[in-house]
Structure 1
Amino acid sequence: MSPNSPAAFSHASFHGHLGIARADITPPVGIYSRNWGAAEHDTASTIHRPLTLTALTLAATANGEPLVLLDADLGWWKTPHTFQQFFTRLLDALELKPHQLLFALSHTHAGPPLMEPDETLPGSELLKTWMEQLFEASVHVVREALRTAFPGTLDWQTGRCGLATMRDFPEPNTDSDRMVCGFNPDAKADDTLHVGRITDTDANLRATLVNYACHPTTLAWDNTAISPDYIGAMRDTMQQTTHVPALFLLGACGDLAPRYQYVGDTEVADRHGRQLAFAALATLEDMEPPGTELTYTGTVESGAPLAVWQHTKRVGSDALKAVTHEVSVPIKNWPTADELERERLACTDRALEERLRRKRDIRQGIGDGSTFALPIYAWRVGDAVIVGCCGEAYSYLQQELRTRFPQHTVICMNLLNGSIGYLPPADLYDVDVYPVWQTPFDRGSLELTLETMTQAIQHVLSD
């Protein structure tokens, strides 16, 4: 055996105290749920699958400072102000510091927007009650997860899934250079899938986690049902097999979406969810037994010299560290929020009016300055790192971070602690493409974010 050859194979692992709790946060039928400019309806008429909220708590010891991750089947916050109010209340109620709490969105496009009630919108009167119920559910699940925490291990394994495809597509049969949002058969998508396995000290499976980058845009303007999109069937399929909760952690999917999407048929979303679930279950089955690593124990001379690998005991790392960094990203020279509102009120096109409404809300949230202090969150969880921000980064971000930290499992996430705009690569700013003209962030913002995330990961990995 070469002295540089590995003597053991093990999963990225964390050993400590973990808690899991879940609540149903499905809103009532009739609530305002318009998420598509092309939609002809404003309110939900039925429920496809329930929306859930799941808390995962992590602590190095039974009495150690916890880190709390909330996995919510929700789309996006209409304004940074709405999120900040919600987040501040949650921190106060739970007596947590900002670095201890990550509120993650699955980014379904078939749920109610996270917004303040607006009496001009049908079904908006139901939002106030539902948003308060969401807050109460968030407090409850965190407290329950902390109360029922147990000593255990979180292991990670990497797999592949072909659900996601590149969604920046040069518009065919035109003389323009416009890119439209849809399947690009000539581009290769990042198919990386990370699966987490939580077990207790008796090696019983207690929960699974799925980190994957793919826009939940199966269901679109023709859909009138409340739905978690593909995440619902993914979660249910996994839970039917494992009999434990499954959490979903959305990856850097700014340029990734299903090949077939924008439909009203919920069975298509379910099919997509089963595809991801089967890939995740296969990855789960590929893992070494809990609490072990595969160790080279010697060579047996037979018809061939046979390398013998056996499972030996391994205790995961108890390292747990959280930091928050900020990166100053450039802001485009947009009109003010008041100017955008006047433009919206004068607009008679339904789809364009919705675009202006969203642009106004973003402008109100980021202010009228030329830069924005974008928060970056990084957690070290044993041998793995969870990193993300409130933007919708392109998949280049997660691919580059994994290249820079090959010895660690890097769980990259979009839409953490808020939601503002896309983070496309600098060269796309020369192209007519939706994520570029939607985002308030100017050229170079993704690259600045990448460097700050790199620094944040180095920070949490340092002693």
Structure 2
Amino acid sequence: MKLIYMKRLILSMLAFGAFQLTGFGEAPKPLNVGLARVIITPETLVRLTGYSSRDVPFEAVHHDLWAKAMAFGDEKKGYRIIITVDLLGIPHRITEKVREALSKEIGILPANLSICASHTHSGPQIGNIVSHFHKPLDPDELAEIALYAMGLVPKLKDLAMDAIANATPSLVSHSKGEVGFAINRRTSINPNGVTDHSLPVMKITDMKGETKAVLVNYACHAVTLGPLNNVVHGDWVGEAQLQMEENLPPGAMAMVVIGCGADQNSSPRMNTDNPEMDLVYAKDQGKQIADEVQRLLATNDWKGIGQLPEGKMKYVELTFATMPDPKKLAADAKGSGRTSNYSLLLLGRMARSGDIPEKIDYPIQVWDFGKELVMIFMAGEVVVDYALRLKQELGEDRVWVNAYANDMPCYIPSLRILREGGYEAETAMIGYEKPSKFTEDVEESIMSGIYAILPKSSK
């Protein structure tokens, strides 16, 4: 009997040890982590972006818009910084200017800085989709866009430096929940449209275990507010940040990055009969995020991260299927509406220099946190197929995919969506001044690029 008891005791101890190694109970190695935030709400009246029907500047500020930074590392080991911005997207030229400024300041490598946009459709135009509007912007509006974009670069550089200055030893861990308000919006094309309801969460605590910050990922468009609400607002993303911070200790910070949600809409949304209901919907969706994060924080289901992320970057060429015909553009430009605005802009570029790209250089970035987590950053409006494929091939619990990161070139369709056609495959290119849809090698080109820079342990 004693022998049997001892065997059971040893097995129990081994099981407990395994739990300790896989759960947060192991107490991961401390990492230096700093946090900072800054308001980026426009100080002058500008046109909001995301909806083509808006033709006047915003009427009020309902939410302040924020940029927030999380910096890992120290002077000896170098810094890795993720910045979130409450904007529709972040143009590549702004990301590169911030990288250049930080490189001069602290020698940061390009792969170790990522800027991720919330994709709110109630934020200022900063040059992402100027041709998306029904009519050309007037000179004063163009000037305001240019000034806002120019002012964003020093703000983001200073924000990153503030996060570095605030860095202290911290414990980092991650977990995953689920929230269900995202729906596939392509049901008219694909009635069985897929979704990704996972909610990856990264937690930063001080050495006593008190939460300093959470970083949350969800794959959904920030389009709960429709164009009839012509106010500055963070949409469900802004509400989620506000409500998470209400639940966290005083001074703690909540950040949200968007997953592969280009074909996912929030539901409910855009009440055209009673637009004020959009504000209620957004608040409720933010609460769903905040409640799920709070539930996770009350559990022990957290995996510790004790390694600074190793960043890698790669650019892959994505090719457009066709080039536009100047005569057809001219005929369309004589009309009115969004496509005419696009045709006029594209025709002007062709007349000046013929500079219509046949390809784009698409940025891919990977942060390897070790065996527990690999974070993939993808530019533009990426459809859900990419995240689902990566999770299937690399492991559901280890892969974290951020879209709308570092650049906003256009929609990034999968091969399936490209063949199905529709907005995300083709007509959305009008808003981004792109000549046509992509060729059918788009998905494999991107996936090959991702695999080329993934850590060996992931492959």
| TM-score, structure 1 as length reference | 0.80
Structure holding more strand per residue = 1
Greater shift, 63-72 or 406-415, is seen at: 406-415
CA contact (8 A) 1:31 1:124 kept: no
- CA distance 1:460–1:130, change in 2 (3 Å): farther
Aligned residue for 1:49?
63
Matched with 2:403 is 414
**What is the aligned partner in structure 1 of residue 182 from structure 2?**
164
Partners of 2:29 and 2:64 in 1: how far apart?
Answer: 31
Match in the other structure for 1:261? 269
Q: Post-superposition shift, 1:203?
A: 1.3
SS at match of 2:217: strand
Structure 2: gaps (5+ residues): 1-10, 131-135, 430-436
Q: Which residue is equivalent to 2:238? A: 232
Structure 1 stretch displaced more, 413-422 or 379-388: 379-388
Q: Distance in 2 between matches of 1:339 and 1:381?
A: 52
- Please say if residues 16 and 152 of structure 1, whose CA atoms lie closer than 8 Å, have aligned partners that are also in contact: yes
- The answer to whether the Cα contact below 8 Å between 2:194 and 2:384 also exists between their aligned partners in 1 is no
Deviates more, 1:25-34 or 1:367-376: 367-376
Matched residues in 1 for 2:254 and 2:404: separation? 19
Aligned-pair CA distance for 1:356:
4.6
Residue 120 in structure 1 maps to residue 138 in structure 2: yes
Distance in 2, matches of 1:362 and 1:258, equals 36
| Aligned residues of 1:158 and 1:194 also touching (Cα < 8 A) | yes
Q: Report 1:387-398 matches (<5 A).
A: 387-398=376-387
Corresponding residue SS for 2:238: helix
Take 1:70 and 1:248, find their aligned partners in 2: how far apart are those partners? 10
Aligned to 1:279: 292
**Bigger share in helix:** 2
- Equivalent-residue separation in structure 1 for 2:80 and 2:349 (angstroms): 29
Q: Determine what percentage of the aligned residue pairs are the same residue.
A: 18
Per-residue deviation, residues 156-198 of structure 1 (Å, max 9, x unmatched): 101110011111021xxxxxxxx4xxxx875442111101110
CA–CA distance in 1 between the matches of 2:60 and 2:413?
A: 35
Pick from 21, 40, 43: which aligns with 1:28? Answer: 43
Alignment CA distance shift 1:341-1:252 (3 Å): same
Following superposition, the deviation at residue 106 of structure 1 comes to 0.7
Aligned position for 1:385: 374
User: Would the alpha carbon gap of residues 277 and 285 (structure 1) be closer, same or farther in structure 2, given more than 3 Å must change?
Assistant: same
Letter in 1 for 2:161: R
Alignment counterpart, residue 173 of structure 2, candidates 147, 155, 163: 155
Q: Deviations over 1:290-328 (max 9, x none)?
A: xxx7xxxxxxxxxxxxxxxxxxxxx74324311112222
TM-score by length of 2: 0.81
Which residue in 1 is equivalent to 2:414?
A: 425
Q: Partner of 1:110 in structure 2?
A: 122
Equivalents in 2 of 1:390, 1:274: separation in Å? Answer: 27
> Is the contact made by 2:349 and 2:356 (CA closer than 8 Å) also made in structure 1?
no
* Compared CA separation, residues 286 and 28, structure 1 to 2 (3 A): same
SS at match of 1:169: coil
Secondary structure of the corresponding residue to residue 78 of structure 2? coil
Q: Which amino acid aligns with 2:108?
A: L
* Shift in CA distance, 151/340, structure 1 to aligned 2, threshold 3 Å: farther
Q: Is the 8 A contact 2:99 2:108 kept in 1?
A: no
Q: 1:134 aligns with which of 129, 152, 156?
A: 152
**Using a 3 Å threshold, how does the CA distance of structure 1 residues 344 and 380 change in structure 2: closer, same or farther?**
farther
Instruction: Compute the displacement of 1:380 (Å).
Output: 1.1
Indicate which of 338, 362, 373 corresponds to 1:374.
Answer: 362
After superposition, give the CA deviation of every residue in 1:29-61 in whole Å (9 maximum; x if it has no partner): 52122431233x3311101101000011112x5
CA contact (8 A) 2:330 2:343 kept: no
Q: Give 1:113 deviation, angstroms.
A: 1.6
Matches within 5 A, 1:433-444: 433-437=422-426, 438-439=428-429, 440-444=437-441
Tell me the equivalent position of 1:334. Answer: 323
Offset at residue 199 of structure 1 (A):
0.8
Change beyond 3 A, Cα 1:359–1:126: same
For the residues of structure 2 that align with 1:195 and 1:444, how far apart are their CA atoms? 32
- CA distance in 1 between counterparts of 2:355 and 2:152 reads 27
Which consecutive unaligned segments of at least 5 residues does structure 1 have? Answer: 171-178, 294-314
Measured in 2, the distance between the counterparts of 1:237 and 1:54 equals: 16
Distance in 1 (CA, whole Å) between partners of 2:378 and 2:444 is: 13
Q: Per-residue CA shift, 1:327-355, capped at 9, x if unaligned?
A: 2222221327x77975674231x233455
CA displacement, residues 101-123 of structure 1 (integer Å, 9 cap, x when unaligned): 11111111111122299972554
Return the letter of the residue paired with 2:235. D
> Would the aligned equivalents of 2:65 and 2:233 in 1 still touch at CA under 8 Å?
yes
Q: Is the 8 A contact 1:212 1:250 kept in 2?
A: yes
Amino acid at match of 1:246: A
How many pairs were matched up? 420
Structure 1 residues 328 and 258, CA, compared in 2 at 3 Å: closer, same or farther? same
